[in-house]
Amino acid sequence: MVAVMLMSVLALAGLCALAYTLAVYALPFMLGVTAAQFAYHTGAGLVGLVAAVAAFGVLALLFDTLRSPILRLIVALVFAAPAAVAGYALVHGITKQSEPSEIWRQIFCIVGGAFVGTSALLRLTTSARA
C-alpha cells in the first residue's frame, strides 16, 4: 500500500515537471500546432515542427539582436505571457479538486503562472546568449 502511494506521488511529480517544461514553450507549441493544422488542411508535409522551432529561434534571435530595451521587453512579453497563462491553467487544474478555498486557489494559480512566465523568460535569455 505504501509503495503504491509512493509511486503515485512520484508519477504526479513527474507529470508536473513535464507539464511545467512544456508550459514554458507555450507560444512556439501553439504556433507549431496552428501551422500543422494549416499544413494538414492544405496537404503539405510536416510543417508544424519546423514552425515551432523557427518561432523559438526567431524570438531568441530578436531578443539577442535588438538593442532597444522597449523592443526587447515586447519580445520577452510575447514569449513569456502565453507561458504564464499556461502555468496558471496548469496550477488551476491541479488545485481545482484539492483546494476548497477559492481565494487560496487563485493565489496559488497566480504564483504558479508567475513562476512559469519567469522560467520562460529565463530560458529565452539563456538561449539567446548561447
Residue 51: per-residue pLDDT: 74
For residue 72, what are the CA distances in angstroms to 24, 76, 101?
Answer: 18, 6, 38
Our count of domains for the chain comes to 1
pLDDT in tens, the chain (130 residues): 677 777 766 776 776 677 767 766 777 777 777 777 777 777 766 676 677 777 777 877 887 788 888 888 888 888 788 888 888 888 888 777 776 788 888 888 888 888 888 887 877 677 656 5
* 67 CB-contact burial (10 Å; exposed 0-12 / middle 13-18 / buried 19+): exposed
Place of cell 524570438: 59
Q: Is the pTM of this model over 0.75?
A: no
Residue 129: per-residue pLDDT: 60
Residue 127: per-residue pLDDT: 61
Place of cell 513527474: 14
Residue 44: per-residue pLDDT: 67
